[in-house]
Structure 1
Amino acid sequence: MISFLLTCTTAGIYAQSTEKEKVVRAYYSGFEKKDWNAVAARLADSFTFTSPNNDDHIPVEKFKEKCWGTAKFIKKVNYIKMLEKGNDLMLLVQIITVDDKVVRNVDVFSFTHAGKIGSIEVFFGAGSKYPGNTE
């Protein structure tokens, strides 16, 4: 009986998170395909980006300037774990670089009511220094 309840609960959570997962996968697909328009289409007009790399709620223009150049280093994105609560989706992501280095981060995506990414907060994890990071 307990396993049945867990299965139903898990299935319900997965079904609720499908749209946010699709948006996040499409966002990262833009990096894999080197397609800025695919990335930008997922971002809200009020989008901000935060990371330990001296990025404190920077707007989309600054995000593109500082972060888009890393797309040339990304070969593959693996989604290790996704958890959703309310308007947030937390992702443990593994990025394989073009020279086969591994970068693991935790990204917290906050979504607008319209379903776009309102903000991303990145926590750098174990692995290689993030590709393209010159600081």
Structure 2
Amino acid sequence: MQDTKPTDAALSDVVRAYFGAYESENRDAAELLLAEGFTFTSPNDDAIDRATYFERCWPQGDAARDQTIEKIVVEGDKAFVTYNCATGNGKSFRNTEFFTFTGEQIASVDVYFGPAYQDGVIV
């Protein structure tokens, strides 16, 4: 049996689906994209597990955000994603996330926060 690795395009599609699931608050879709043993790290979270991620970080009907992916760079089983986000309360920010994959599932996400803006001014 031949072991095939996902293409860069396939992993880019996984990232886009993950962002779409987050933006639309479709947890069921997100669950399918996350590998067993998934971890999430940010300046506020240190390699938290899937259950804690959904408890702390998943929108609960109050996210009201518009995310626009600026760039996805895939290399092997890793990807960097830079995106802009506008929230319902007029704030905006630009972050970068580092993804690792197991096959076509997300094994980990590390988030690097950019500054937040309100009316064009850093807040």
Q: TM-score, normalised by structure 1?
A: 0.76
1:105 pairs with 2:99: no
**Separation in 1 of the partners of 2:8 and 2:115?**
27
Using CA pairs below 8 Å that are at least 6 residues apart, which structure has the higher relative contact order? 2
Task: Give 5+ residue unaligned stretches, structure 1.
Answer: 1-15, 130-135
Q: Secondary structure at the match of 1:73?
A: coil
Q: Identity over the aligned pairs, expressed in percent?
A: 32
Q: 4+ residue runs of structure 1 moved beyond 2 angstroms?
A: 69-72
Larger radius of gyration: 1
Alignment of 1:40-51 (within 5 A): 40-51=31-42
Query: Aligned partner of 2:62: which letter?
Result: K
| Alignment correspondent of 1:122 | 111
**Separation in 2 of the partners of 1:59 and 1:97?**
26
| Alignment correspondent of 2:62 | 72
Greater share of residues in helix: 1
| Alignment correspondent of 2:71 | 81
Aligned-pair CA distance for 1:24: 0.8
For the aligned residues, what is the CA RMSD?
1.7
Residues 1:106 and 1:56: Cα distance change in structure 2 (over 3 Å):
same
Match among 22, 46, 59 for residue 56 of structure 1: 46
| Alignment correspondent of 2:13 | 22
Q: TM-score, normalised by structure 2?
A: 0.83
Greater share of residues in strand: 2
Task: Give 5+ residue unaligned stretches, structure 2.
Answer: 1-6, 119-123
